[in-house]
Chains A and B, each alone.
Chain A
Amino acid sequence: MSDIIATGAAVPARPKNSILVEDKLMKKRNAAEARFKAYGIAAIAISLATLAIMLWTIFSDGVSAFRQATLTFPVTLDAAKLDPQGARNPADLVKVTTVGYGTLLTTAFRAHLQEKGVSTEGLDDKAVGDMISKAAPAQLRDSVLANPSLIGTTKDISVYATGRIDGFLKGRVTMQTAERDANVSPEQLQLADRLREAGILKLQFNSGFLTNTDASDQRPEASGLGVAIIGSLYMMALVALMVLPVGVAASIYLEEFAPKNRFTDLIEVNISNLAAVPSIVFGILGLAIFINFAGLPQSSSLVGALVITLMTLPTIIIATRAALRAVPPSIRDAALGVGASKMQTVFHHVLPLAAPGILTGTILGLASALGETAPLLLIGMVAFVANYPAGPLEGGVMDPATALPVQVYSWAARSDPAFIERSSGAIIVLLFFLVVMNAIAILLRRRFERRW
């Protein structure tokens, strides 16, 4: 202490002016600080603005995908047309194709319009029928085949209107564009207006967007994310099952047991490098090993999960090792000190304390894997899949499926403008899942994390 006082005496005389009056140097330093703060705020503003613009475009394009134009009218399921034999024999029922059901629907629709006094002026019968989605006959056929007792009854049904009519209700299609459009005429749009007044045509919440399968370019209105959501769920569940044991085992060994030598150093470097390998490389690997060599089925969520496991493994190992390293050595020393073996130390003390960190890392790894498209491209998951995979216990993971980001990608490339809205809608669903996963990670961290 006395030294400081002694040297303090040697300091040249203090300047006489007050520190509240800024001299030149001080002004300069304060200005530098103000500038730096401004740069920081600008950087944050730029990133926030980008995020806001991105979210704005996605939501303004995509929210409308959750609402869909539907037509509601009664249909008489004429037994003479649907079951000419009258025996309700499934083999006979199957013979009536969607074409037969299509005419049935069109006739019922026109009859209902007449009954309600909605004029179909300027439109021939085909043009009126064309306002019903091409997916409707198949939906009706499926429900009749599943429940043949419906035949002969009259039933109120709700079917989708075509994508153009839907677009008209949402403002995407206008009278001007319809004049130039081969798929819809202004007269049809005028009829749509009248139908709306009569309460037959409505914009409704479309749960089908979440549950329907993909549909072809001719019926964008009927397409949905059902297969993609199931595929993504299967993949994430399998990835979690595979990546956790392998990743945790590898990290515990490397962190707690492995000797420090050149070989383990080499492994460490390789793990860090693997984490930076472009994801498409893992797709090539997956095609070569899992499909061509192991003979696993193409487009299946199992192969997708294996590929994504390989891809996420390095990230999980790095996160897990960081979590293990954050457990203070005093805990290990204490456990060893009371006579625990190394393994007991790890499994009774270190691992439970590191668990929240490991889980957080895993969930974040899974969240980034959820958004991967590139590796799935090569193993055939970027595809048109119109059948739901079977349940998880019936081998559904071997069935063809797609994934959420894949659906975004393939819808964005379709020619019908209605798919742009659905592509953005799919992004919203994907974002929702990501936010949920990240929220879980934050909650876990908040609740269980220990600080020393």
Chain B
Amino acid sequence: MTIFKLALAGAVASVAFAGQAVARDQVQITGSSTVLPYATIVAEAFGENFEFPTPVVEGGGSGAGRAKMCEGVGPNTVDIANSSSRISQKDLDTCAANGAKDIMEVRIGYDGIVFASDVNGPEFAFTPSDIYNAVAAEVLKDGKIVANDYTQWSQFNAALPAQDILVLSPGTKHGTREVFEDKVVLAGCEATGAMKAFMDGGMDEDAAEEACLKLRTDGRNVDIDGDYTETLARLDTNKNAIGVFGLSFYQNNTDKLRVATMGGVVPSTESIASGEYPVSRPLYFYVKLAHMDVIPGLKEYVEFFVSDDMAGPNGPLAAYGLVSDPELKKTQEMVAARTPMGPLN
């Protein structure tokens, strides 16, 4: 009989919990796996030097993180969503519908996207046009749009080595994909004249952009949906491949990777901060202002994150590969004033 009593007690206990949220004493953060290492570095330093417990940081992706943040307000929802792309109006609407009206957008800095190959292979100096010619489904050849049949880099740019084309590009659910498309493929499409050719062929601008972003499927461009470690493993087995990585990942694996220049510029935190290196994107986190004085340590964590000690050009985040934001002062003022973000335009 005791068994049944135990089971009954368990059932009663779980019903008693229903509906009432348990108070929480540590900050909960979720979102982008690109921002994850930066957030853990800050969380760790925060836990060491403040009287609050170390925040709990989850990865899992920008979109999933924002959706989780927008589930509502209260201790059983997360406080901060890290994001490697800007929040969408749809997310903001969901947030507002669930009661989380005031969201603060904090830009923590910039992340560089680099192209890298095996360290023992030849050097590569790319322009966006080269990448476009290598990965697009259709390219401009002798003034005509044709299906991409390039097999070696030297076929469209004599300065590149005669090596088989194989690009490991970020998969569609990657935050990196957007930058890869906007700043490299699309830029290359325009630079090679393929964009103009598409539009001359009767497409409107949107259709032409879509045609530009269509990538070849004959195995010379491979979408990697996993994280950078998977790209690195693929590159290890196929020495001819060119992989797309985050700058910080490359900086931690310089013994295996050789970075390619883009438009003649070597990617580094300096060249990205100055804007010379073209392929970069801002990183954000989003805070629910309603949690600010409810969850202990949240306000301090946010202020600590954007402080010069952390996000500044000489801080540990920059040392790890984050390109610090030249407008960090403004962000600090915004955090101090707790200015919620306006509607997106």
Residues of A within 8 A of B (CB): 94, 97-98, 134, 138, 141, 173, 176-178, 180-183, 215-219, 242, 245-246, 248-249, 291-299, 377, 380, 382-387, 398, 400, 410, 412-417
Contacts and interface: CB of A to CB of B under 8 A. Distances in A.
Nearest to B3: A245
A267 B277 CA distance: 63
Contacts of B119: 180
Contact of B40 (A217, A249, A299, A400): A217
Given A295-B17, A299-B28, A415 B58 contact: no
Contact of B56 (A216, A299, A412): A299
A295 B23 CA distance: 10
Contact of B254 (A181, A245, A382): A181
Contact of B3 (A134, A248, A377): A248
B22 A398 contact: yes
Given A217-B37, A386-B43, A398-B22, A298 B76 contact: yes
B19 interface: yes
A380 B251 CA distance: 29
Given A217-B40, A293-B19, A413-B227, 12 more contacts: A181-B255, A218-B320, A291-B76, A292-B71, A294-B14, A297-B24, A297-B76, A298-B76, A385-B54, A387-B47, A387-B54, A415-B246
Nearest to B58: A383
B60 A382 contact: yes
Given A98-B45, A415-B253, A295 B37 contact: no
A138 B48 contact: yes
Contact of B51 (A94, A217, A242, A380): A94
A182 B44 CA distance: 23
B20 A295 contact: yes
Contact of B21 (A295, A384, A385): A295
Contacts of B228: 415
A219 B78 CA distance: 26
A337 B251 CA distance: 79
B56 A217 contact: no
B57 interface: yes
A141 B47 CA distance: 12
A400 B76 CA distance: 12
B56 A384 contact: yes
A296 B22 contact: yes
Nearest to A249: B3
A292 B57 CA distance: 19
A383 B76 contact: no
B252 interface: yes
Interface stretch (B4-12, B141-149, B284-292): B4-12
Interface in B50-96: 51, 53-54, 56-60, 71, 74-76, 78
A178 B254 CA distance: 9
In the complex, the 4 A-B pairs of residues with the closest C-beta atoms, listed nearest first: A177-B255, A386-B54, A295-B21, A384-B57
B249 interface: yes
A377 B22 CA distance: 21
B294 interface: no
A299 B4 CA distance: 29
7 contacts: A182-B251, A216-B44, A218-B41, A248-B3, A296-B22, A296-B76, A383-B58
B320 A410 contact: no
Nearest to B22: A297
A297 B20 CA distance: 11
A183 B251 contact: yes
Contact of A217 (B24, B30, B53, B320): B320
Contacts of A380: 28, 30, 56, 58
Given A218-B316, A295-B76, A415-B229, A249 B36 contact: no
Interface string B208-246: 000000000000000000011100000000000000001
B310 to A, nearest CB: 12
Contacts of A294: 14, 17-19
B249 to A, nearest CB: 4
Contacts of A134: 316
A339 B17 CA distance: 45
A298 B60 CA distance: 15
A417 B236 CA distance: 13
Contacts of B22: 295-297, 398
Contacts of B28: 298-299, 380
B324 interface: no
A124 to B, nearest CB: 16
A209 to B, nearest CB: 17
B26 A400 contact: yes
Given A246-B7, A293-B18, A296-B17, A173 B255 contact: yes
A94 B20 CA distance: 36
B59 A410 contact: yes
B41 A245 contact: no
Contacts of A292: 71, 76
A162 B224 CA distance: 31
Contacts of A94: 51
A311 B89 CA distance: 37
B7 A384 contact: no
A98 B21 contact: no
A134 B315 CA distance: 13
B33 interface: yes
A249 B4 CA distance: 8
A442 B14 CA distance: 35
B345 interface: no
A307 B26 CA distance: 23
Contacts of B24: 297
B301 to A, nearest CB: 13
A294 B3 CA distance: 24
A382 B3 contact: no
A335 B74 CA distance: 57
A361 B44 CA distance: 41
A382 B58 contact: yes
B248 interface: yes
B26 A295 contact: no
Contacts of A413: 33, 59, 227, 229
Contacts of B19: 293-295
B3 to A, nearest CB: 5
Nearest to A217: B37
A378 B191 CA distance: 43
A174 B7 CA distance: 59
A298 B252 contact: no
Contacts of B43: 216, 384, 386
Nearest to B2: A245
A412 B232 CA distance: 12
B40 A216 contact: yes
Nearest to B72: A292
Contact of B7 (A218, A245, A410): A245
A193 B59 CA distance: 38
Contacts of A217: 37, 40-41, 252, 320
Contacts of B58: 299, 380, 382-384
A442 to B, nearest CB: 27
Nearest to A242: B10
